[in-house]
Amino acid sequence: MNHKNVLLWTFLQCVSFAFGENSVLKGEENGFESDYKAISGTIKYNMRKDLDLDQEGCYLQTGKKDQLEKCGFNATAKTIFIIHGWTMSGIFEAWMRNLVSAVMQRESDANVVVVDWIPLAQQLYPDAVNHTLAVGLDIASMLDWLQEQLQLPLENVHLIGYSLGAHVAGYAGTYVKGTLGRITGLDPAGPMFEDVDDQKRLSPDDADFVDVLHTYTREALGVSIGIKKPIGHIDIYPNGGDVQPGCALGDVLAAAGNFMEVMKCEHERAVHLFVDSLMNKDHVSYAYQCTDAERFKKGTCLSCRKNRCNNIGYNARKMRKKRSKMYLKTRADTPFGGYHYQMKMHIFNRKQFDNAEPTFYVKLYGEHNDTGNIFVAHDEPIGLNSTNTFLVFTEEDIGDLLKISLRWEGDSESLSSVFKYIRQSFWNWNTKATKPVLQIRRIRVKAGETQKKFTFCAQDPSKTEISPGEHITFVKCRDGWEVKPNKRIPM
Ligand SMILES: *[C@@H]1O[C@H](CO)[C@@H](O)[C@H](O)[C@H]1NC(C)=O
Ligand SMILES: *[C@@H]1O[C@H](CO)[C@@H](O)[C@H](O)[C@H]1NC(C)=O
Ligand SMILES: *[C@@H]1O[C@H](CO)[C@@H](O)[C@H](O)[C@H]1NC(C)=O
Ligand SMILES: *[C@@H]1O[C@H](CO)[C@@H](O)[C@H](O)[C@H]1NC(C)=O
């Protein structure tokens, strides 16, 4: 990831903040007031009737009752408003098309309405922020009018806001008469929202259920494009909420982009994950509650007990109580969902190799398919004579896990271990330098997606030792294939 370019972009943003008050840069657009009345009429409610998005939709307008019939508004169906964010181009970006068509395909009866506030969003960022309240108020009065005219039940109303649009939805939820059913925030904007109080941003009291996806929370110069703090009933941070797979500079450069493309890729990933959840109904991705991304990466948070896991995106189950942050790993492209495994193993260091620093790979053999070699990532050195927990993620569904091959990366591949042997043989010049030997007898596995737990034992009970360049094969232990949740496994 090229941080320089992100810094540059952020710098440009800061310049834009600094000059936000200065009308010199505002050009002719400085006539816009935050005053709600001055802007009413500039916001359009385009009700989509056709999957073909080149077809002009039908426009709803408060006070124009005949439009409701003309647009075929169905007051007993779900009503879904889609709200865009800040725009530089002044046109709908491609994601809007994807999201609208995914919503319409999933909810064929629903009233799908695109809230078009482009003239107010195509401003310097701080000015667009200043308009979010007015746009939110306008949406609230549209919903109030629909309630009056059609007794529209607010619990059937779902606002989906991307970036700045998420905070617009928050204001709409605050000011509408009654309580909205649901607001989804897709990577809600961070700059100028991170530290403001609840009333000035999307928050859990804006709807009965507020769910948020955070995909671009990497901070540069004190600013993060997507808001970092949790602001809903559930806040999901795919891939830790910062670096999204497939968005690194190298990956998107090939697709003709520049650093703006990287930014767009990570920020917009929230929309694509949501679209994915609408389209791939039978491949649901789960997110797991965890205190932070570091703990999640260690594989310690794959529990679904007491609502600790939830579906991501459209399929998220309603939570009344605010949860802490939730995490998952994803693939780089649609379908984004993959499979999480927690692997626990006690690594014995019986022969006292002080500086054995193993790097492990696993290959998983399943009922349907096998994986390639997967690097077993760990931020801290692997603990010897202690139990380690790892998170292993696979992109393919291999079915129930049958066999695990654990390999210690060979020393020829690791320069540091070569140096270690040189050092070792230097000090122990009269003894032959020996390869480190560690022992692993069992691997306890928990599959996040199925919540199944198994213990795997060395296939050959006499082959439980491992040195660089070697592997051990583990199969399900004969005693107790499936492990009861609370049974302690003697290691
Ligand atoms: C935003 O609006 C407030 C008043 O509502 C005003 O004081 C402030 O200068 C505006 N900020 C920008 C950047 O226009
Ligand atoms: C309106 O929506 C309801 C609920 O989805 C559905 O049962 C009904 O058929 C719809 N009416 C029309 C006219 O489409
Ligand atoms: C690990 O435990 C074994 C006994 O099982 C002991 O002999 C060895 O010294 C320990 N190694 C370290 C590095 O503590
Ligand atoms: C098994 O996985 C490979 C990729 O690792 C994939 O190409 C292949 O189609 C899969 N086979 C089945 C039967 O799913």
CA-wise closest residue to 214 among 161, 267, 288, 272: 267
Kindly identify the ligand whose nearest atom is closest to the C-alpha of 346.
Answer: 3
**Protein residue with least CA distance to atom 2, ligand 2:** 77
Does the C-beta of 369 come closer than 6 Å to ligand 1?
Answer: no
> What's the confidence (pLDDT) of residue 166?
98
pLDDT category at 433 given cuts 50, 70, 90 is: low
Nearest-atom number in ligand 3 for the CA of 349 is 1
Q: Does the pLDDT at position 89 exceed 80?
A: yes
- Counting atoms of ligand 4 from 1, which one is nearest the CA of 369? 1
pLDDT of res. 301 = 95
- pLDDT the model gives residue 108: 94
Mean predicted lDDT score pLDDT of the chain? 85
pLDDT tens track for 226-260: 999 999 999 999 999 988 999 876 555 545 456 77
Query: Where is the binding site for Ca(2+), in residues?
Result: 201, 206
Of the candidate ranges 49-58, 297-306, 365-374, the one whose mean pLDDT is the lowest: 49-58
Distance CA 323, CA 307 (A): 9
Which of 106, 109, 111, 158 has most ligand 2 atoms within 8 Å of its beta carbon, as the pocket-test mutant?
109
Residue nearest to atom 10 of ligand 4 (CA): 369
Q: Cα–Cα distances in Å, from 302 out to 295, 331, 451?
A: 11, 18, 8
Q: Residues of 416-442 as b/e, b for ≥16 C-beta within 10 angstroms?
A: ebeebeeebeeeeeeeeeeebbbebbb
Q: Please indicate whether residue 399, judged by its CB atom, sits closer than 6 Å to ligand 4.
A: no
pLDDT of residue 420: 57
Candidate of 365, 367, 369, 395 to mutate for ligand 4, largest count of ligand atoms within 8 Å of Cβ = 369
Question: Taking the chain, what is the end-to-end CA distance rounded to the nearest angstrom?
Answer: 41
CA-nearest of 482, 466, 443 to 364 is: 443
Helix (H, G, I), strand (E, B) or coil at 249: helix
CA-based nearest residue to 163, from 93, 238, 251: 93
Structure tokens at 408: 């210690």
The torsion defined by the Cα of 36, 181, 272 and 43, in degrees rounded to 10, comes to -20
Among 56, 48, 54, 96, residue whose Cα is nearest residue 74: 48
Kindly report the protein residue whose alpha carbon is nearest to atom 10 of ligand 1. 130
Does 148 have pLDDT greater than 80? yes
CA of 170 to the centre of ligand 4 (A): 44
Share of the chain above pLDDT 70, in %: 81
Ligand 4 touching residue 367 (CB < 6 A): no
pLDDT at 57: 80
Atom nearest to 396 CA in ligand 4 = 2
Catalytic residues: 163, 187, 267
Question: Per-residue pLDDT for 135 more than 60?
Answer: yes
Domains belonging to the chain, first-starting first, are 34-328 (3.40.50.1820), 339-476 (2.60.60.20)
- The residues with which 162 forms a beta bridge, in sequence order, are 186
Q: Which ligand is nearest to the CA of 395?
A: 4
Cα–ligand 3 centroid distance for 456 (angstroms): 23
3-7, 117-121, 309-313: range with lowest mean pLDDT: 3-7
**Out of 48-62, 226-240, 261-275, which region has the weakest mean confidence (pLDDT)?**
48-62
On the question of pLDDT at 489 being above 50, the answer is no
Q: What is the pLDDT of residue 252?
A: 54
Nearest atom, ligand 1, residue 21 CA? 13
Do residues 358 and 347 touch, judged by C-beta distance below 8 A? yes
Is 150's pLDDT higher than 60?
Answer: yes
Q: Measure 130 CA to ligand 1 centroid, in angstroms.
A: 6
CA distance 228 to 214: 7
β-strand partners of 12:
none
What integer pLDDT is reported at residue 319 of this predicted model? 83
For the cut 90, the answer to whether the pLDDT of residue 403 exceeds it is: yes
Rounded distance from Cα 373 to ligand 4 centre (Å) = 14
pLDDT over 90 percentage in the chain: 68
Ligand 1 atom at minimum distance from 130 CA: 1
Q: Is a pLDDT exceeding 60 seen at residue 427? A: no
What are the contacts of 47-55 at 24+ separation with CB within 8 A?
A: 47/71, 47/73, 47/111, 47/112, 47/113, 48/100, 48/104, 48/112, 48/113, 48/114, 51/101, 51/104, 51/105, 53/97, 53/100, 53/101
Residue 304 CA to ligand 3 center (angstroms) comes to 36
Query: Phi/psi of residue 486, each to 5°?
Result: -105, 5
For ligand 4, atom 5: residue with the closest CA: 371
* Radius of gyration of the chain, Cα coordinates, nearest whole angstrom: 27
How distant, in Å, are the alpha carbons of 131, 164, 173, 185, 199 from that of 85? 11, 4, 17, 11, 19
DSSP labels for 308-374? Answer: -EEE-GGGPPP-SSPP--EEE---SSSS---EEEEEEEEEB-TT--TT----EEEEEEESS-B---E
- Whether the per-residue pLDDT at 158 is higher than 50: the answer is yes
**Residues 415 and 318: beta-carbon distance below 8 Å:** no
Give the residue with greater pLDDT, 4 vs 367.
367
From the CA of 111, the nearest ligand is 2
Q: Which residues pair with 490 in a beta bridge?
A: none
> Tokens 């006499």 belong to which residue?
462
Assign 14 a pLDDT band (cuts: 50, 70, 90): very low
Using CA atoms, how far apart are residues 235 and 326, in angstroms rounded to an integer? 6
Q: Beta partners for 343?
A: 390, 445
Distance of CA 450 from the midpoint of ligand 4 (Å): 20
Confirm if 387 and 344 have CB atoms less than 8 A apart. Answer: yes
**Chain centre to alpha carbon of residue 280:** 16
Q: Distance between CA 340 and CA 338 in Å, rounded?
A: 7
pLDDT tens string 280-327: 888 889 999 999 999 999 999 999 999 999 999 999 999 878 777 999
Q: Cα(391)–Cα(341) distance, rounded to whole angstroms?
A: 6
Residue 19 in contact with ligand 1 by CB distance below 6 A: no
Residues in Cβ contact with 148 at an 8 Å cutoff, skipping those fewer than 6 apart: none
At residue 338, the pLDDT reads 95
Q: How far apart are CA 192 and CA 185, in angstroms?
A: 16
Check residue 348 and give its pLDDT.
94
Q: For residue 150, with 0-12 CB atoms within 10 Å meaning exposed, 13-18 middle and 19 or more buried, which class applies?
A: middle
Pocket of ligand 4 contains residue 396 by CB under 6 Å? yes
Tokens representing 30 are: 């400085």
Average pLDDT over residues 171-176: 98
Q: Is a pLDDT exceeding 80 seen at residue 215?
A: yes
Distance 183 CA to ligand 1 centre (A): 26
* CA dihedral (122, 228, 5, 162) positive or negative: negative
Token pair belonging to 237: 């941070």
* Any ligand 4 atom below 6 A from CB of 368: yes
Tell me, using a 6 A CB cutoff, whether residue 21 lines ligand 1.
Answer: yes
From the list 471, 227, 272, the residue with the least C-alpha distance to 364 is 471
User: Ligand 2 pocket by C-beta < 6 Å: which residues?
Assistant: 74, 76-77, 109
Average pLDDT of the segment spanning 385-397:
95
The answer to whether the CB of 271 falls within 8 A of the CB of 433 is no
pLDDT at 192 over 50: yes
Binding residue positions: 201, 206
